[in-house]
Amino acid sequence: MNQLHLFLPCAAGVETYLAEEVRHITGVGDDDLRVFRAGVMVRTSWRDVMKLNLHSRLAQRVLVELSHTLYRQEQDLYRAAGEVAWELWFTPKETFKIEITAQHSPLKSLNFAALKIKDAVADRFRHKFGVRPDVNTQWPDARIYAHLTTDECTLYIDTSGEPLFKRGWRADKGDAPLKETLAAAMLAASGWSQGDGTAANPIGLVAQGVPLYDPCCGSGTIAVEAAQIACNIAPGSMRKFGFQKLIPYQEHVWHGLLDNARAQECEPRAAVFGSDVAFRMVDFAQRNAERGGVAHAVQLRGGDALQRMPPSDVPGVMLVNPPYGERIEAAGIAGAARRARYSPPTEYVSPYEDVNQNGDAGFDDAAYGGGMIRDDVPRFGARDIAQTEDGGDFFAQLASHWKKNYAGWSAWMLTPDLKLPSRMRFKESRRVPMWNGPIECRMFRFDLRAGSMRNKANDAQPAEGQGPSSAS
């Protein structure tokens, strides 16, 4: 199994960062690597399958391609699945499940298509061994993925099991938490965890000891992910994988890779900080950091983002993921001012009361390795960040606070609001397209300099991925 074709799905916009990560983990050259929208294909060995599951922070899954054929109807899918040597991957004692996705497929029912593939797999085992494996839709031993286009069917076997964003350390979380893989993508795009190809930052700012700060940390997804990177902790070192139940799995090889990964762990190479106005969320973040093995590497505090001063004497990188897509009112002094204008004083709620448990905003998109997770129940007062539609007061005050107190820092913010820079009266120095599940977003970079606030709403906007070297 030295010539396997793997497909690693990821969030759209993350492909180039994932490709660089795959090169670093496997050492493959450009001839064995292809980049697609929302995924990367690589030709490598079974040993690298296990390494990618263990070390990849950006991939949603690691899938092994087993078949690629043309089809016109459901019977063609039955034939294609029946020709795959499934007995090389699992036995009749294991359970299995069919997952199917499609783009512009002419078939009327994907459920019926999945049923035909399931029948083909079961019939092949029955013909060879006289017994068929059982189907388990909840916790299967083997997951088979089928992807249909207009006329092509690709069959994969999944080696990850649970999606790779489930690291194993996040038990405490708020509503609609940010996926760990997207947090890692934000860290890569900022240049903190990955180099940007320049002489000033060849391997990432973390290696230079540049601190990182999330002033609206929620349940701590970004902060804990960053702390693990700072300590060189492999993201998959705390969980099980699907390949451990497949026939090619060799326990001694896996334990060798795991021992080597743990031997590479180190003391934090850079300081990581996080804070949130909701003390309940800070407690969640602290417990997640303890389970992630980085309680010593991240400093978490409660406090209003509009009042907290820089956590480090050395300027660093700020990474912020404000909530969007649902009604969330600002907490802290911005929320208090808003409530004072629009609500009687008797209806004021302390920002430190546990009236909401919102974590990091985000989505799981079924097209990228998991079902969509979202809480549509209106919640109020949980975090420092206001909804982008009506949270201008908060963002303007935040920009003023940063301008006054965070000179020398670079701030990155993920948002679907393309007008956010002008609303903050900032001019971004860079913008990076990135999808949060089904939501098209941008990561804006603001290079903070001391000075007065100026409205640059009418300034020319830089092209995506480019811009001036600074913003003021």
CATH code for residues 180-231+267-447: 3.40.50.150
**Cβ within 8 Å of residue 115, ≥6 positions away:** none
Supply the pLDDT for residue 437. 84
Q: What's the one-letter identity of residue 246?
A: L
Supply the pLDDT for residue 174. 62
Q: Which two tokens stand for residue 371?
A: 């079902």
- Using DSSP, state whether 320 is helix, strand or coil: strand
Nearest residue to 419 via CA among 428, 411, 429? 428
Nearest residue to 322 via CA among 169, 443, 225? 443
Supply the pLDDT for residue 430. 94
**Interatomic CA distance for residues 284 and 15, integer angstroms:** 31
The strand ranges marked E within 309-450 are 317-320, 410-415, 430-436, 439-447
**What is the number of other CB atoms lying within 10 angstroms of the CB of residue 450?**
11
- Using DSSP, state whether 362 is helix, strand or coil: coil
Using the Cα atoms of residue 202, residue 226, residue 323 and residue 376 in order, give the sign of their dihedral.
Answer: positive
Using the Cα atoms of residue 344, residue 345, residue 347 and residue 349 in order, give the sign of their dihedral.
Answer: positive
**Interatomic CA distance for residues 415 and 413, integer angstroms:** 6
Is residue 167 within 8 A of residue 239, CB to CB? The reply is yes
**Interatomic CA distance for residues 248 and 251, integer angstroms:** 10
Q: Which two tokens stand for residue 471?
A: 């913003």
Beta bridge partners of 316: none
**What is the number of other CB atoms lying within 10 angstroms of the CB of residue 108?**
9
Nearest residue to 97 via CA among 135, 148, 61? 135
**Interatomic CA distance for residues 237 and 183, integer angstroms:** 18
Architecture of domain 4-158: 2-Layer Sandwich (3.30)
What's the burial of 289, exposed, middle or buried (CB within 10 Å: 0-12/13-18/19+)?
Answer: buried
* Domain boundaries along the sequence of the chain: 4-158, 180-231+267-447
Whole-model pTM over 0.75? yes
Supply the pLDDT for residue 175. 63
**Interatomic CA distance for residues 413 and 471, integer angstroms:** 14
Is residue 167 within 8 A of residue 220, CB to CB? The reply is no
Residue with tokens 């035909």: 116
Nearest residue to 28 via CA among 49, 9, 57, 59? 49
Nearest residue to 60 via CA among 148, 204, 156, 195? 156
Query: Burial code of 109-133, b = ≥16 C-beta within 10 A, e = fewer?
Result: eeeebbbbbbbbbbebbeeeeeebb
Helical (H) or strand (E) element with 98? strand 96-102
Q: What is the dihedral of CA 407, 408, 409, 415, to 10 degrees?
A: 70
Is residue 305 within 8 A of residue 187, CB to CB? The reply is no
Nearest residue to 12 via CA among 275, 258, 321, 368? 368
Helix ranges (DSSP H) in 219-274: 221-230, 251-263
Supply the pLDDT for residue 325. 46
Per-residue pLDDT of the chain (472 residues; tens, 9 = 90+): 679 999 999 999 999 999 999 999 999 999 999 999 999 999 999 999 999 999 999 999 999 999 999 999 999 999 999 999 999 999 999 999 999 999 999 999 999 999 999 999 999 999 999 999 999 999 999 999 999 999 999 999 999 999 999 999 988 766 667 899 999 999 999 999 998 877 888 889 999 999 999 999 999 999 999 999 999 999 999 999 999 999 999 999 999 999 999 999 999 999 999 999 889 999 999 999 999 999 999 999 998 889 999 999 999 999 998 866 432 344 445 444 444 443 333 322 222 222 222 333 232 333 333 332 233 333 333 333 343 344 447 888 899 999 999 999 999 999 999 999 998 899 999 999 999 888 899 999 999 986 544 444 444 444 455 443 344 4
